[in-house]
Chain A
Amino acid sequence: MHSGARLVTVAPPSGGIYRLARGPAEPFSPPDWDRAHDDGTFGNRFDDPSAMDGRSPEERFRTVYCATQRAAAFGETVARFRPSIVLLAHLAEVEDDESVEQALAGAVDPEDPYRGLIPADWRLLRRIGHTILMQTFASWISLQLQACSICGRHSPLGRPNSGFLMLTSVR
């Protein structure tokens, strides 16, 4: 862990953790290193940017973002499908034979374009994982995790402290 880090270590939540992930892979696996940006992060808030300091992947950690509530796991990921009302206003200014509603068909509610739609394909390509961090699991954590902290940032569900959890590993 970097000397400047100030992460609070807490006990694993008793109800377990949830994670929404793509594809058939283990939902709690960290992302492949080859998907990292030039700074070594994966574009998310608590990723390790120390590749900029020349650290190799073996010296860096990857963050697995989880939630202590199932709804929070969904909320974090579907937040990106709330249509931008500013964009809708801009689109109305473009001259075109198609209406804004027709142009955004399939991506917004046809009766209310301010409400987003989540295509069924999105759900079919993902799955939710749930696991309990038990004592037997804890040894794996102590070996591979540097910190386990509850993140209290404001959630897309509109509730602070809604149970986001980060697991940071050194794999």
Chain B
Amino acid sequence: MEGSTTDQLTQRVHRQATIAPISEVAGLLQELLSRRLTAFIAGVNDGKTVTRWASGEVAAIRDHEMEQRLRTTYEIAQLLMSSDAPRTVKAWFIGLNPQLGDTSPAEAIREGRLRETLAAARAFTVGG
């Protein structure tokens, strides 16, 4: 991959994650990771909440940190899917990650370790 392409990709997915409607963010994550896993990452107890976001029935999330967790997950998903298949990306999110102290990226995001998880995702696109 050319250097400028990598920079452009990083900027593009970040911008996309910042401005995408919640329905798009939740829709992609529901499709890629499942409703249950998306609900856990967001920090809600009911998977139906994710469906309400994805359908547009609920267009805004009042909890800023919850929204940031979802948008960061969306950004990472887009970044990883640029170089790996969706099933590999899903497996990455639930696996014990040595760069996250052997916790899964899903748990790390749920705990608010957003920058750390983004860094682990970028390392994955470089290495294995």
- A residues within 8 Å of B by Cβ? 20, 22, 31-35, 37, 42-44, 65, 76-84, 86-87, 90-91, 93-98, 100, 102-108, 116-119, 121-122, 125-126, 156
Contacts and interface: CB of A to CB of B under 8 A. Distances in A.
Interface stretch (B21-29, B35-43, B53-61, B69-77): B35-43
B96 A80 contact: yes
Interface string B76-97: 0000000111011011101111
5 contacts: A35-B125, A80-B124, A82-B96, A106-B87, A116-B94
Given A43-B122, A86-B103, A98-B35, A119 B47 contact: no
B62 to A, nearest CB: 20
A94 B103 contact: no
Contacts of A122: 84-85, 88, 91
Interface SS of A by simple majority: mixed
A95 B48 CA distance: 8
Given A44-B127, A117-B91, A35 B46 contact: no
Interface residues of B, number: 44
Nearest to B37: A103
Contacts of B1: 32
B94 A96 contact: no
Interface in B80-128: 83-85, 87-88, 90-92, 94-99, 103-104, 106-107, 110, 119-120, 122-128
A82 B95 contact: yes
Give the most central of B44, B45, B90, B95: most A CB within 10 Å: B95
Give the most central of B4, B83, B91, B124: most A CB within 10 Å: B91
Given A43-B119, A80-B96, A87-B104, A95 B88 contact: no
Given A80-B98, A84-B104, A87-B107, A119 B88 contact: yes
Nearest to A121: B85
Given A42-B127, A84-B103, A96-B46, A119 B36 contact: no
A78 B98 CA distance: 11
B7 interface: yes
B39 to A, nearest CB: 5
Contact of B46 (A76, A95, A117, A118): A95
A121 B87 contact: yes
Contact of B98 (A65, A79, A90): A79
B92 to A, nearest CB: 6
B95 A80 contact: yes
Contacts of A44: 99, 123, 127
B107 A84 contact: yes
Given A91-B36, A103-B36, A34 B103 contact: no
Given A83-B94, A107-B91, 16 more contacts: A22-B83, A22-B128, A34-B4, A37-B122, A43-B99, A76-B128, A84-B94, A84-B106, A86-B107, A87-B107, A90-B107, A94-B40, A96-B36, A96-B39, A105-B34, A116-B94
